Amino acid sequence: MAQVKVQAIASMLHSKDTIPPEFVRVEDEQPGATTYRGPAPAVPVIDLADTDRVVDAIADASREWGIFQLVNHGIPAAVIGELQRVGREFFELPQEEKESYAADPRSGSIEGYGTQIQKDPNGKKAWGDYLFHNVWPPSRINHGMWPRQPSSYREANEEYTKYLLGILDKILDSLSLGLGLEGSALKKALGGEEMDMLLKINYYPPCPRPDLALGVVAHSDLSAVTILVPSDVPGLQISKDDRWIDIDYVPGALIIHIGDQIEILSNGKYKSVLHRATVNKEKARISWPVFCSPPPEMTVGPLPQFVSDQNPAKYKTKKYKDYQYCKLNKLPQ
């Protein structure tokens, strides 16, 4: 039986001031009560074209914040615009057509169209739907999970991915050099050219009570690095100094999240950012993260350079697929 999607629920609501109780977060998660409204420092904005400073800037931001915004990244605005257009048009298709791409939990894959991927201890639901599919490497791509409509969907995603590969290399090189390693060290430890790139389109319909609901609950990313295209409808928040603060929208910027696997490899020198997504009362909000991760069978643990008697390993070494299974099912690592 297909899950009822949030987009369908939102379209059927009769009241403009209430939402079903399963979407009302517990009080200490409600954004209306927990968002910090005072002055807060801004997430670092890093110029990828500033070759003299980019390594230090990325390393510093990854230690202190676990997130930064990247400008002058070299992806043409038209390529990003097309990625956004075809993604938006997919979610405007009739519900029945979208359901033909529904994720099948029995397959063991998270690819496809769905809602609510993580278990919630309070039985609550997130106010958002998604589309997942792999974009790299070619051996992992299942074009059956790529929408056939709009007709230019495949071309737009393939063109965007070409640019993304080079950006990921630059980010990983900078992170490696920032740790005193060779530029290729982290990429090699994450599977090299076989690194997975999984695209997700997050779709958050307008929500009558954005003060009570979340599009995505607080979490850090499973990935090594997440490269995200935002829209101009704000909603990304991070936890900084025990406060939930809003991330400013920077036109044309990519938002880069440091994920769990980079924190593990660096034995905690770099920080996997805790973040969540809020929703909007008047507008749908969409984002396009790509999760860049080790292959499922790759074993990841703290690099030996960062482990000693004085500084023991802070994380277990395990296959990425096992780490993923434990985290998604709320099991101890």
Kindly list the catalytic residues: 200, 219, 221, 275
| Beta-carbon count within 10 A of 248 CB | 12
Q: Give CA–CA dist 57/254, Å, rounded.
A: 15
Residue 274, token pair as written in the block: 């805790």
Peptide bond into 294 cis (omega under 30): no
Q: Give CA–CA dist 60/51, Å, rounded.
A: 15
* Residue linked to tokens 């801004």: 42
Residues 6+ apart with CB under 8 A from 75: 160, 163, 164, 167, 254
**Which residues pair with residue 130 across a beta bridge?**
114, 202
Closest to 327 measured CA to CA, from 108, 105, 123, 118: 118
The strand order across the sheet containing 243-246 reads 216-219, 275-277, 236-240, 243-246
3-state helix, strand and coil shares in percent for the chain, rounded to the nearest 5: 35, 20, 45
